[in-house]
Structure 1
Amino acid sequence: MAYGPVRGPIPARSGGPISGSDFLQLRAEEAPAKGLTAWLAEGLRTAVAAGRLSPGARLPATRLLAAELGVSRGVVVQAYQRLVDEGLAAARTGSGTVITGRGARRPPRPAGDRRQTLDELRLPISTADGIDIDLSPGVPDLSAFPRAAWLRAERAVLDRVTAADLRYGDPGGVPRLRAALVGWLARTRGVRCEADDIVVTAGVAQGLALLAQVLRARGVDVLAVEDPGSRGASDQMAFWGMRQVGVPVDEHGMRVDELAGAGVEAALLTPAHQFPTGVVLSPERRRELLAWAGGGLVIEDDYDAEHRYDRAPVAALQGSAPDRVAYLGSVSKSLAPAMRTGWLIAPRGMQAELLAVKHASDLGNPALPQLVLAQLLSSGDHDRHLRAVRTRQRSRRDALLAGLRAHLPEARVAGVAAGLHVLVLLPGTADDTVLADRVAAAGVQLHPLSWHRRRPGPPGLVIGYAAHPPDRLAEAAARIGRALSRPAPSRSRSGAPSS
């Protein structure tokens, strides 16, 4: 099937003149022999109701529209006058006929509108009322985006981009980016692959979606996940119909010994920097996991391995068993989440199916951003950016730790050696969602650990530190300490707050 541009209900720009008759979606050869004015007026009303004509849009000149539709100018003049009479348009001297929209009726929003949906998903679209320091985990330092380097790379790409680069291409990604990723991932993460093994995705989220669809098509619909583990990844897999079994995490990572009895054929892990605890999957557990994977699939989410401060890098699991591990990464934490650029490297026996699903989803990611990222990787600008960001993040982490030690001395802080967040473990049996609400009342947003748990466990708070300078983090720590200084309600054995 050939793909090309499709006419759709694109609203006219407010205040701008409309050229041509496409917005009407009328065919001149279907015009009735009689009643042309009514036919055209109805087409105009439909365009207004459907949003193809927005308030302030200027209708085409009557001569132009008449010529395109093959009707007399008088028919167009009369149709325009009917819209004016109905209040849908106004005739303005020097501006022609302009849509007012007063007569248009938009359908009411359904009960589950966009804002409600985002709130239910806890998506970080905007800061909640009263929050002025958002310490949600997973948010990088967006102010550090390498604008100058990106602009240089974009200019270099545009200087040499060809017409062939702008056609529908390989749904797996632009070859230049996949080639650059092969060398960069091998050098920085120990990943073993060739360019044809890589599928460029719209972030890790799309990689998970592709894997879920292929697994379900193969009859695999149950997945082992870390407990506690990433709420976002869990919700993503649940959306695609994957039931999940939580496997406990301790100081050595996932309890791999429990996989055998979990009745699953796939497991999703964050082995290099477990979310949210920050622990690293131990060498012994890695060996046990790969032995288990002889009959299953390991999905490795390498979500923030670029950020490390007090320890050597931990190689990706994929390099030890590329035929048993599906590896996922992205630039969401190194550049910005809005880039929506990531990669999936799966065992070769799955690649054809994954590529087919990717092609059916979107035909492939936009080419120009891929080419720019390839230029950043090959020029070394991306590595220089990461080195600068690590220095900034270390000072921010240190400021938060100092503040927590001063204002919350009874807490234990884990996961400090790498990443963009820390886990604060609190003594007692308090309800950490209540504690998080108290902190939010003080203007600081963070995550209760229970959001990421499947089984009950000790209270904790997951705190991101990448998005704020040291002075703001020190202020946030002081507010957290004050908010938690008064006793909090404990939970009964049933899980309800005890009276």
Structure 2
Amino acid sequence: MALLEALVEFDRTGPGLADRLTGALRDAIVSGRLVAGNRLPSSRDLAIDLRLSRGVVVEAYERLVAEGRLLSRRGSGTTVAPGQPERASGRQDSGQAEPGRRESGREGPDRWESGRAQPVNRIRPLRPGVPDLGMFPRVAWRRAYERALRQARAVDLDYGDPAGAPRLRAELAGYLGRVRAARVHPGDLFATTGAGQAFGLVAGALRAAGVTAVGMEEPGSASIREHLVAHGVGLVPVPVDAGGLDVTALERTGVRAVLVTPAHQFPTGVVLAPDRRTALFGWARRVDGLIVEDDYDAEFRYDRDPVGCLQGVAPELVAHIGSASKALAPALRLGWLAVPPRWRAAVRSGKLAADVCGPVLEQLAFAELLASGGYDQHLRRLRRMHRIRRDAVVTAVRRYLPSARISGIAAGLHLVVELPDGTDDVTLARSAAQAGLGPLPLSRLRVDPGGPPGLVLGYATHPPDVLTQAVATLADLAG
């Protein structure tokens, strides 16, 4: 530890200690004084050795993990990551990524190009709709799974309740009430295999009630649009502006159900304004309709506390959908659906027909992760890292694409870059795909033609240096 203290000399007086420690550690890595595989002291030990608070060291470690310079795994400690990039010119020791050298909501697989899911061999930089899968809390999940397995009764291994494991529904009800201001009882909830199954269940219940068309935000998620159409529901585009869904336009469509993303509209990122929320509830009451709330990415807000969900205001009008895909991993297929009482029988019937019951052991493990506080701890860590990565993309866009307009940066795992009129965003996105990048063209997220061209850029999957180079490459492709 004394050796590390010598390697990270810096001024330890005054404010900004975390910035200076981050910079000193980064310098030691970039210069080769710390090399790939070197194990760093625990945050507690380094704090004692450097005579700092532990919080300063934890923040510095987390920033460098977010940058891809350190690896941190419970049980294995913190080590220098392999394949370190060189320091980008002009970077300041602030923990925020600055532009590097120009060497180079839910959307899941890259569906926009051919209309069908494409095989994904690796996660492409700037691809929206996916988390950093390397951040999956393997140790915490394994412990939660082992606890669930130890505590599971023999009867728990039988075919379970179609609505899901009672323990998970109880933990979810508490979590959604605490974090999303929802008003849900465990009996209101269905554990689903991801949000995808939840959309299918809602579509089936609507069809059974004679509802054949659903309003959907324009622009909106192409993958959800295709999913609903595949389940036999017609879609009617409803425009979105700076206040969110245009409820007056919704009234004119004559539909009795609408899908909305009120906390963080996909893809624009706007929040449904308070007057629009009130108007939307009024519409639902007048037409005896259903509001389907896709609460994706709601936990990831960076400018203020997350906006409360619609369901918590009018649970009798709202079907609430969420999942752990963006916070943990899509492969877990853990989602949930809360529906008003009059829709429960149809949804339960659909769930039973779909898969009899869900994966009970995974549901019990998720319940353990929620109950232990491990899920909240993981989300706090992700929020800090996402903010750093988002800042890197914003900085790079402003440097390399100065004529672009950036929006949707306050929350979520993506932002929107509007490009100059006349830009062919589909061709640009295709060229980016050929260069190994994964942005989505904004025009493909609209049903009706029109609106500015642009790209949807994800920032959750890669460290800042990679994201900065990806934006630089994109700028080269855009000319």
> Does 1:338 find its partner at 2:331?
yes
Q: In 2 relative to 1, CA 379–117 (structure 1 residues): closer, same or farther, beyond 3 Å?
A: closer
Aligned length: 368
Cα-Cα RMSD: 1.7
**Residues of 2 paired with 1:187 and 1:236: CA distance?**
30
Equivalent residue number for residue 361 of structure 2: 368
- Report the CA distance between 1:117 and its aligned residue: 9.7
Q: Where in structure 2 are the equivalents of 1:460-475 lying within 5 Å?
A: 460-475=454-469
Tell me the equivalent position of 2:199.
208
TM-score (normalised: structure 2): 0.75
Alpha carbons 2:112, 2:440 under 8 Å: kept? no
Q: What one-letter code is carried by the residue in structure 1 that aligns with 2:270?
A: V
Aligned partners of 1:411 and 1:426 also within 8 Å:
yes
SS of the residue 1:260 aligns to: helix
1:222-251: CA deviations, max 9, x gaps? 110000001111111100111111011111
Code of the residue aligned with 1:339 in structure 2: it is L
Aligned letter for 1:352? A
Match of residue 142 from structure 1: 133
Q: Distance in 2 between matches of 1:274 and 1:124?
A: 25
1:309-328 aligned at under 5 Å gives the runs 309-328=302-321
Are positions 1:242 and 2:233 aligned together?
A: yes
Counterpart position of 1:225: 216
SS at match of 1:457: coil
The match for 2:470 is 476
Contact 1:190–1:315 (CA<8 Å) still a contact in 2?
A: yes
Whole-angstrom CA distance in 1 between matches of 2:110 and 2:186? 41
Quick check: 1:357 aligned with 2:328? Answer: no
- The 3 A distance-change label for structure 1 pair 287 and 118 is closer
Indicate conservation of the 8 Å contact 1:442/1:483, yes or no.
Answer: no
What is the match of residue 35 of structure 1? none
Name the CA distance, whole Å, in 2 between partners of 1:228 and 1:348: 31
2:114 is equivalent to residue 120 of structure 1: yes
Deviation, structure 1 residue 151 = 1.0
What are the within-5 Å matches in structure 2 for residues 43-442 of structure 1?
A: 120-123=114-117, 125-127=119-121, 133-294=124-285, 295-442=288-435
| 2:436 alignment partner in structure 1 | 443
Rounded to whole Å, the distance in 2 between the matches of 1:251 and 1:212 is 28
- Looking at structure 1, the residues matched to 276 and 112 of structure 2 have their Cα atoms a distance apart, in angstroms, of 37
Q: What's the offset of the Cα at 1:149?
A: 0.4
Q: Which of 1 and 2 has greater Rg?
A: 1
Q: How does 1:22-37 map to 2 (within 5 A)?
A: none
Task: Answer yes or no: is the 8 Å Cα contact 1:270–1:301 preserved in 2.
Answer: yes
Counterpart contact for 2:110–2:117, Cα < 8 Å: no
CA shift digits 1:277-327 (9 cap, x unpaired): 000000000000010011211000001101111222100000010000000
- Whole-Å Cα distance in 2 between the matches of residues 374 and 466 of structure 1? 25
1:434 and 1:169 map into 2 onto residues whose CA distance is 48
**More moved, 210-219 vs 171-180:** 210-219
Give the distance between the partners of 1:116 and 1:393, measured in 2 at CA: 22
Match for residue 457 of structure 1? 451
Q: Check whether the contact 2:110–2:118 (CA below 8 A) recurs between aligned residues.
A: no
Alpha-carbon distance between aligned partners in 2 of 1:223 and 1:278, rounded to the nearest angstrom? 21
| Distance (whole Å) between structure 2 residues aligned to residue 282 and residue 163 of structure 1 | 49
Contact 2:214 2:256 in 1 (8 A): yes
Distance 2:419 2:333 in 1: 35
* 1:317 partner SS: coil
Quick one: which amino acid aligns to residue 270 of structure 1? Answer: T
Contact 2:300 2:306 in 1 (8 A): no
Query: Any gaps of 5 or more consecutive residues in structure 1?
Result: 1-114, 486-499
> What is the rounded CA distance, in whole Å, between the counterparts of 1:359 and 1:119 in structure 2?
34
* Partner AA of 1:467 in structure 2: T
SS in 2 for 1:123: coil
Aligned partner letter, 2:114: E
In 2: Cα distance, 1:118 partner to 1:366 partner: 30
| Distance in 1 (alpha carbons) for counterparts of 2:119 and 2:380 | 28
Summarize the Cα distance change of 1:116–1:415 in structure 2 as closer, same or farther, 3 Å threshold.
Answer: closer
Correspondence for 1:107 = none
Distance 1:118 1:423 in 2: 16
After superposition, the C-alpha distances for 1:238-275 in whole angstroms (9 at most, x for unaligned) are: 00111111011111101111111101000000000000
**Which residue identity does 2:364 align to in structure 1?**
L
Change (3 A) 1:424 1:117: closer
Structure 2: any 5+ residue segments left out of the alignment? 1-108
Tell me the alpha carbon deviations over residues 375-397 of structure 1, each in whole angstroms, 9 at most, x when there is no partner: 00000000000001111111111
Considering Cα pairs closer than 8 Å and 6+ residues apart, tell me whether 1 or 2 has the greater RCO: 2
8 Å CA contact 1:133–1:476 kept in 2: the answer is no
**SS in structure 1 at match of 2:460:** coil
Deviation string, structure 1 residues 56-77 (Cα, Å, up to 9, x no partner): xxxxxxxxxxxxxxxxxxxxxx
Deviates more, 1:436-445 or 1:288-297: 436-445
CA distance in 1, matches of 2:470, 2:295: 28
Q: TM-score, normalised by structure 1?
A: 0.72
1:437 CA displacement: 2.3
Taking the aligned partners of 1:117 and 1:283, their CA distance within structure 2 comes to 33
Q: Give the distance between the partners of 2:439 and 2:381, measured in 1 at CA.
A: 26
1:244 aligned counterpart, secondary structure: strand
The one-letter amino acid of 1:123's match is: A
The CA distance in 1 between the partners of 2:307 and 2:348, in whole Å, is 29
Equivalent residues of 1:137, 1:446 under 8 A apart = yes
